Structure 1
Amino acid sequence: MKTKYFGDITIDEDKIITFPSGLFGFENRTKYALLSFLDDSGESSEDVFMCLQSTEEPDLAFIVMNPYYICADYDPYQIPESLLSEIQLGQETKHTVYCVTVVRDNFDESTINLKCPIIINVENKLAKQFILEESDYSMRYPATKKEV
């Protein structure tokens, strides 16, 4: 497949993540791959910044990051259980959390959207982006500010 940042690469079908209702603003694009910027093969790893690449539209890719690198006490689990069940996520289900990041030329101006996390069910590759409506998390939290 063609990608925004990696050119032409091959992605195994079992690595494709499905967002049944898409991402906010991109509801009609539901298939993505999580790619590493540090690994030439595009294989997913535990890098700080990752690329969430649409498999349906080559120019559609988001830079995401693990929010716990910035905010160790980040708590995105204020989500109603009925919404978590959409991706078959239970209390014991292996999952991961990412947040969309805007990386600026002046890196100190980069931001992370802590208000709208992406939760991926690692077991079935279903994912959903949520809005933490009852939280004070910012949509433009400084990506360079680290709280511990």
Structure 2
Amino acid sequence: MRINTLALGEIEYTEEEVLTFPNGIPGFEAYTRFLMIRREEAFAYLQSIEEERLHFVVLNPFDVYKAYEFELGQEDQEELEIRSEEGIEVWSIVTLGDTPEQYTLNLMGPVVINTLSRLGKQIVLHHSPYGTKHKLVELLANSKEGE
């Protein structure tokens, strides 16, 4: 199958690669089927296959903020059919700006994907110390200081 994406051009994919977000992503609930498109750079793309113009730039938050942690509730684990840590990926949505200094990372709403069940969900971490607009350059600078 093929999709002609806005950001990446034509992408070929198989049904086995499709991730299902049963409830969509907050604000985009109507779209439930996505592809995770990885490039050689640190960023990846969560691309809707139902709407060619809809994609999210994502990044592994642990790569830029080593102290990042959260607990996934039992209900979320059941919804994603998580039985162990195997096959679990965590991504954060990046908001791009005109320059890399303006890029922000949403640590309050991690995207959790079970690659075994092909299920995903954006979790909202209520009552957490994280926000939706952490400056990426600050996270990277703090991460390097902690090494």
Q: Which residue of 1 aligns with 2:19?
A: 17
With the length of structure 2 as denominator, give the TM-score of the two structures. Answer: 0.89
State the SS of the aligned residue for 2:91.
strand
Report the AA paired with residue 104 of structure 2. Answer: T
Residue-pair matches, total? 139
1:2 aligns with 2:22: no
Q: Which residue of 2 aligns with 1:127?
A: 120
Q: What residue ranges of structure 2 are gaps of 5+ in the alignment?
A: none
1:49 aligns with 2:50: no
With the length of structure 1 as denominator, give the TM-score of the two structures. Answer: 0.88
Matched residues in 1 for 2:39 and 2:5: separation?
Answer: 12
Q: Which residue of 2 aligns with 1:44?
A: none
Q: Which residue of 2 aligns with 1:137?
A: 130
Report the AA paired with residue 88 of structure 2. Answer: H
Q: C-alpha offsets along residues 4-36 of structure 1, whole Å, 9 cap, x if unaligned?
A: 212122111111110010000011100000112
Matched residues in 1 for 2:6 and 2:77: separation?
Answer: 30
Q: What residue ranges of structure 1 are gaps of 5+ in the alignment?
A: 39-46
1:105 aligns with 2:98: yes
Runs of 4+, deviation exceeding 6 Å:
none
CA-based RMSD: 1.3
State the SS of the aligned residue for 2:16.
helix
Of Structure 1 and Structure 2, the greater helix share is in 2
Matched residues in 2 for 1:32 and 1:96: separation?
Answer: 15
Closer, same or farther: CA 142–88 of 1 in aligned 2, 3 Å: same
Matched residues in 2 for 1:112 and 1:76: separation?
Answer: 15
Q: 1:114·1:141 contact (CA, 8 Å) conserved in 2?
A: yes
Q: 1:67·1:97 contact (CA, 8 Å) conserved in 2?
A: yes
Q: C-alpha offsets along residues 29-76 of structure 1, whole Å, 9 cap, x if unaligned?
A: 0000011243xxxxxxxx421011000000001101000122112113
